[in-house]
Structure 1
């Protein structure tokens, strides 16, 4: 009869966060990574939580941890608590009145260098109290779980209570270093110069699909699923590649001259759309809106905002 009161006194939201992280990562180390603490701390908190509940939540094994039936029964309730805490946090964010504090922005590495970084001086001059946490990564962070405040994405999100704006259209063009472009001259066959291309993981993106359709009889001399690495390789003169038009001048590259036999295929250079995304509850928070508005103001090509609801 004493156990329920002990649970009520000892159980905290941080305990639920540990529980959810363990359920989702299935290893103590990965759970620690999600929460920003070491594995030993997670292990101690798990032991304390199991003692407070009087139940074993995970079976420990050589390959990690496996939720028990008790954990599976608690999981839906823990997720409801997470949703409530997210709504509470979002509501608290809405209480802000001044443009100050931290904005977490996630975007592809190339967009971070070409689009975002050049705007930071102006943004911080306008709003000295603002701070930016810029994550130029390939991973897609979850805005509904508040892993970031604003995202730049090349794929329109289809789930979540999000505000989505098409920021601009990105045209891909064939480029090389000035030295290589000069040695190639006018390209009359796609196989007349070495290519830098994409690996298997991103073989379905527009640039990789264009290459598969039009370039026959040759393989890229270098493949990478990182556009940043491709740009570094092309800049070094290793080969030519399709890159976003906005990156050409930034990296000191030049377009390849295309001969008449190739112009029909060149007329089909691939395109991407770049979307600006935030959670609906954050859209009018002053610090988030300041970043959002400047990106739209400077990037151009934005269309009317559209909402995506669950």
Structure 2
């Protein structure tokens, strides 16, 4: 008599990755995109998985999929497996001996432009076997889930088995395109300038809070939650914005001249700290250490 295979014998790690992708994406299409396959493949593999488990994991609807009670009970175990696999991959990487392979860096877009991009030539010249994946964006990737190897962040991480080092401190100042700065002359009141600022979603940022306190009542001509967009708008000559000092020369901008009426406010310009972050288990992996050391070395000179 032929014995029926049990789920323990038929399930694989790829099945768990599929399950987690569906739980997090909530649509088959988004799950497929995150896994790098097409939607029909995800649907077929999900059907096979549910058959192996003899359980329905997701209810299908017009708006996507929803986890069933069975899926919700499996989710914590699947996340434990994911964490174990991440630790295994990290331990395997620790066996490296040469500075070679891919290092994934995540950071804000302006940090990528002003700080990271200019040192890549030196980095790859020193280590020809090194490859860099640079992910500039506002989203914070999870280093514990191996979404990136190194992060540059303006907020110090409070949780996770991470190594965190402060790279530099950057002050934000009011700047404009040279032509706009000349036309404004010496600014006597913050309301005398056309401002480019943040939207409500990032109202708690230090730069946004400074404007709310010292330029109270000023209505910006342009709002954007992307600093890259703000920089493009200011470079185009639309108005004045608070910008980190290391970015000023890089984008061809100049500080706005301030009259004595505004000097006291300017003494309280907002300040950001830039932190270099990696997972503790990756800190001494040769390819990660090479990138870390140069970022730290160059960051001290900003």
Sort the TM-score into its range (normalised by shorter chain): over 0.9
CA RMSD of aligned residues (A): 1.4
Aligned residue in 1 for 2:39: 39
Instruction: Work out whether residues 99 and 127 of structure 1, in 8 Å CA contact, stay in contact via their aligned partners in 2.
Output: yes
Q: CA deviation at 1:25?
A: 1.8
TM-score by length of 1: 0.94
Distance 2:104 2:138 in 1: 15
TM-score by length of 2: 0.97
Cα-to-partner distance string for 1:254-286 (whole Å, 9 max, x where unaligned): 011110000000000000111110001100000
SS of residue in 2 equivalent to 1:106: strand
Instruction: Work out whether residues 56 and 70 of structure 1, in 8 Å CA contact, stay in contact via their aligned partners in 2.
Output: yes
User: How do residues 1-310 of structure 1 correspond to structure 2 at under 5 angstroms?
Assistant: 2-3=3-4, 5-300=5-300
SS of residue in 2 equivalent to 1:238: coil
Distance 1:77 1:111 in 2: 37
Q: CA deviation at 1:301?
A: 7.2
Gaps of 5+ in 2: none
Distance 2:95 2:186 in 1: 59
Gaps of 5+ in 1: 303-310
SS of residue in 1 equivalent to 2:248: helix
Cα-to-partner distance string for 1:110-161 (whole Å, 9 max, x where unaligned): 0000000000000000000000000011111000000000000111111111
Q: Give runs of ≥4 in structure 1 deviating > 3 Å.
A: none
Instruction: Work out whether residues 169 and 301 of structure 1, in 8 Å CA contact, stay in contact via their aligned partners in 2.
Output: no
Distance 1:76 1:173 in 2: 46
Distance 1:71 1:181 in 2: 59
Aligned residues between the structures: 301
Cα-to-partner distance string for 1:23-79 (whole Å, 9 max, x where unaligned): 122211121222222222111110111111121111111122122222122222211
